[in-house]
Structure 1
Amino acid sequence: MFGRVPTTRRYLMCAPHYFAVNYAINPWMDPSRPVDRELALAQWSELRDTYRRLGHTVDEIEPQPGLPDMVFAANSGTVVDGRVLGARFRAAERAAEAEHFRRWFLERGYRDITMPTKINEAEGDFAWTGRLLLAGAGFRTDPAAHAEAQEALGVPVVSLTLTDPRYYHLDTALFVLAEATDAAPAQVAYYPDAFSAGSRRVLARLFPDAVLADADDAAVLGLNGVSDGRNVVLPAEATGLADRLARIGYEPVLVGISELRKSGGGPKCCTMELRK
């Protein structure tokens, strides 16, 4: 009925060999809670293997000691049409990650690389819809970084304001289900209560057929999903959102991310898309 069509993707990921919760830079992080690194690695490996099973390509960057959040590759770059906009982290604990990713791109032949002057946490706060870039601000990325992204990537940018500290990045409150094509507009899923009133009006105008998530979906980072246009990779606990997506023709794929969620991350946080 819906004719959902998957498209093959290329992703960049970083294994959580040094994953830990040694500091708190978002409400999910509690250094007093134990972290099972072996389980984190097993869950990350399941996520990587799921992408490959779905026909996607996964590249890997070497993790670095002393950077426990480097596993969250989405925060270190935004790639559209082969142009790369790097990251500039707000938290000092993560600042060094940006250079490792810049070098990875440079060593693999990317030449159109821009490193931002404003705080910019990459796909954590930038979501490409196929026509425009949705850009979040409120907790991490500087609003001025939105104009910088438009200039560097050469795509129109729409700014959105996040208001709930639990959903500190755009990718914890919204993800793209299907990118826009000549035949159909983009479709997104989002949690309305994570956004300002004005941003909710913007989203309603841009995406009248959006899938609206509820508080239960959001509380398990269900909006930190990854879709190829048909297959939608979600945290295992996001069963309500999975049911709603299945009813409109998507194929939910549930994966365990319990350990990574202790740092406020899920499938999308671990996944940077390389768009050429």
Structure 2
Amino acid sequence: MPASATRFTHAIVRRPAASAIHNLRSVDRGAPDIDGLCREHAAYVDMLTRLGLTVDVLPPLDAFPDSLFVEDPALVFPEGAIVLRPGAASRLGEAEHLRPALASRFDRILELTDGFADGGDVLRTPDVVHVGLSARTDETGATALAGLLAALGYRASIVRPPAGVLHLKTACSLVDDGTLLATRAMADAHLFPGLDVIVIPDGEEPAANLLRVNDVVMVAAGFPRTAEMLARRGHDVRALALDEVMKLDAGLSCMSLRW
């Protein structure tokens, strides 16, 4: 039986830097309050710890405003790690700063050397790893990444999300090993055969990036209909404040590498 894609024992995170006010943003919602951002990040780390994970907390990198979003420059699996090439030029140096933390935890580290790929465009399910094409992940990078995933024993599927989606996981997330939460546009694209796709209530599309960790579904606070819908389906739902994080085009999965 394939291993669960929602059960974890370890995570790597990086504390926000003061330079996060200069973060990349596709929509300008204003600069984050750094103290508020740090409080949200600390609460996130606390939640991971309370869920039983050993969390490696890395220091902030002021030279890289987006570096708290450690999911984009690398992928991690029990079998090894893959160092990626983020599609934004300002983020290309992040991976080298992440490499020592990966080397301390993984015996096998592979490296993407062709094209570009962001971890936010990668959705793992028990049977397949979906790689979404986007402004940050190109076909060359996705194809090369599929080869690296195969070397770790994972089958990849390259998919093309609807127009306007920043990252694949901006518009969908794994609720459990057989269920996906998605925006209406993502659900209508029919990219995930074999998964039960449930649609986010209209107007709550930013809640699409939830994070299932072991027996808990973490969701962004402020989206009560999504939280209620998931709770009615029997999930243990925990809402976390993400007001400052969401100003940075980010969500729950972006802030950690989990295995």
| Matching residue of 1:234 | 219
**Cα deviation, residue 44, structure 1:** 0.5
| Matching residue of 1:147 | 143
Counterpart CA distance in 1 for 2:98 and 2:28 is 24
- Matched to 1:80, the amino acid is F
Q: From 166, 176, 179, give the equivalent of 2:174.
A: 176
2:240 equivalent to 1:255: yes
Contact kept? 1:172, 1:223, Cα under 8 Å:
yes
Change (3 A) 1:102 1:78: same
2:75 equivalent to 1:86: no
- Matched to 1:237, the amino acid is G
Counterpart CA distance in 2 for 1:222 and 1:143 is 27
Q: From 182, 194, 203, give the equivalent of 1:206.
A: 194
Counterpart CA distance in 1 for 2:46 and 2:19 is 19
Counterpart CA distance in 1 for 2:224 and 2:74 is 30
TM-score for both structures, normalised by structure 1: 0.83
Matched-pair identity in %? 20
TM-score for both structures, normalised by structure 2: 0.88
After superposition, residues 3-14 of structure 1 pair within 5 angstroms as: 7-14=7-14
- Matched to 2:175, the amino acid is L
Change (3 A) 1:147 1:17: same
Counterpart CA distance in 2 for 1:229 and 1:53 is 11
Counterpart CA distance in 2 for 1:52 and 1:230 is 13
Q: From 184, 188, 195, give the equivalent of 1:192.
A: 184
| Matching residue of 1:182 | none
After superposition, residues 64-75 of structure 1 pair within 5 angstroms as: 64-75=61-72
| Matching residue of 1:183 | none
- Matched to 1:271, the amino acid is S
| Matching residue of 1:3 | none
Q: What SS is found at the alignment partner of 2:60?
A: coil
**Cα deviation, residue 35, structure 1:** 2.4
Structure 2, unaligned runs of 5 or more: 1-5
Structure 1, unaligned runs of 5 or more: 1-5, 180-185
Counterpart CA distance in 2 for 1:188 and 1:162 is 14
Counterpart CA distance in 1 for 2:91 and 2:185 is 28
- Matched to 1:63, the amino acid is P
- Matched to 2:190, the amino acid is R
Q: What SS is found at the alignment partner of 2:113?
A: coil
Q: From 33, 44, 49, give the equivalent of 1:47.
A: 44
User: What RMSD in Å do the two structures reach over aligned CA positions?
Assistant: 2.0
